[in-house]
Amino acid sequence: MKLPFVRRSFVFLAPVIALFVSCATVHPYIMVDHLVDEENFPASVNALEQMRSKLYREKDKVLYFLDKGMLTHYGEDYKVSSSLLQDGERAIEANYAISITQEIGTFILNDRTREYDGEDYENIYLNVFNALNYYQQGDIEGSLVEIRRMNNKLRDLSVKYGTLMTRMQKAALENGTEIPPNPEAPVKFNNSALARYLGMLFYRGTGNRDSARIDQQQLRIAMSDAPSIYKNPVPSSIQDELTIPPDNARLNVIGFAGRLPVKNEEVIRIFLENAWIKIALPVMVTRQSLVSSIEVVLDSGEFFTLELLEDMSAVAAATFIQKKNLIYTKSIVRASAKGIAASVFNSAAEKSEDNKGLFTLLGLGSQILAEASEQADLRASRYFPGKAYVGGINLKPGVYSLTVTFYGSNKTALAVRRHENVRVSANALNLTEVVCLR
């Protein structure tokens, strides 16, 4: 049975559906977002904690751990951030392990009935910031563990959805539903330039130059293998990271800008027999960053520009495609099952003389229920940055003060970060992190 796809509005259902989903479409993040925009991260953490019961259901604890973990990281509370991100990672692993059993519930209503098990990009990027948390606490070995965990997750991405997709396709066939091909082909992504960059620095910091050289090479391979993600050239500073003169030290600066995408709902309608059914899909919507360049100026006169290494938003969109394909298949099966009731009642209304009105009403009620219950799962963490920039410079060992300026497209200064008395030591990793979420 072929299923013609059309997009159209049902005006007569709008009031009912609006009433049903109004609570789901309005979120109380406004105060937390406002404090984040002002870069008052301690206050944003307090606001998030005070509003926790409104922002997060029990099924959303992964989001709570990730959001608070990132805000405490920006607020330089690295020990607390590390604990929260680890809690988030454990919750992701536990929820994914039980997600197969929860598929039954998601066939009945929608994906919001299940425990949130995180998006792939959230699961890999939490390791980046936990690695930075460990570095800030003087534990480079702990940082390397996080980067290795991230690399292992990336390696497993290509096979993660195979079994789940097979289950969905089998369910579709058993339901008699034809699955149109999804127009979005997955993008190859199993190697992160950002992970390799940090691995290179951390290995160099521990004196393991062979492993640092391997990650330096892997960084270039990662960017070459995924041109649809890495549209930027390899940062020029990469070639100098392992050629530091004997009497010099190296200062590295990593800058994060913007924020990862959010999700919006896309509605597709299918005509099944003599009833319309609704399919609601989450789609990634990029949040454009205002930052176009980042400059580092030392009080001693030296300066350099940070260059884009990884568009984290592009990674988020690319890694989401595989999961979206799974959601697409499952939604058709679920929506088709919901539409059967309306179809049966509508057919009965056409054939019945005595109960035509009753069957028509039941058919309409079934269709309204199907419309209202079919909602896309729009859950996603809100405070991961959208882009990663890097740079470095060789200096004589000593103590330096520096100013980092984030510029907009018209060279207007969006944010200025001042770092006083930064010690730059020989044979050590000297890494400074700066953030502007605008």
Greatest alpha-carbon span in the chain: 97
Give the pLDDT band of residue 184 (cuts 50, 70, 90). Answer: low
pLDDT tens for each residue of 391-429: 999 999 999 999 999 999 989 999 999 999 999 999 999
User: What is the rounded distance in angstroms from the CA atom of residue 195 to the CA atom of residue 189?
Assistant: 13
Strand order across the 398-407 sheet: 413-424, 398-407, 293-298, 303-311, 387-395, 249-257, 430-436
Q: Over pLDDT 70: what percentage of the chain?
A: 75
| Three-state secondary structure call for residue 280 | strand
Q: Which residues pair with 263 in a beta bridge?
A: 284
Indicate if the pLDDT at residue 365 is higher than 60.
no
Q: What is the mean pLDDT of the chain?
A: 85
| Domain coordinates in residue numbering, the chain | 5-436
**pLDDT for res 331:** 75
For residue 123, give both structure tokens.
């699961």
Backbone angles phi and psi of 400, in degrees to 5: -130, 155
Residues 222, 315: contact at Cβ < 8 Å? no
C-alpha to C-alpha distance for 304 and 79, rounded to whole angstroms? 31
Residue at token pair 């176009």: 292
Decide which of 351 and 260 is more confident. 260
Checking if the pLDDT of 4 tops 60, the result is no
What is the C-alpha separation between 282 and 262, in angstroms, rounded? 9
Best CA proximity match to 76, nearest among 40, 33, 125, 35: 40
pLDDT tier at 180, thresholds 50, 70, 90: low
Among 323, 319, 316, smallest CA distance to 385 is for 316
Mean pLDDT to the nearest integer, 92-114 = 71
Query: pTM for the whole thing?
Result: 0.85
Summarize the confidence of residues 71-83 as an average pLDDT: 98
- State mean pLDDT over 182-202: 87
pLDDT band of residue 322 (cuts 50, 70, 90) is confident
Predicted pLDDT of residue 6: 37
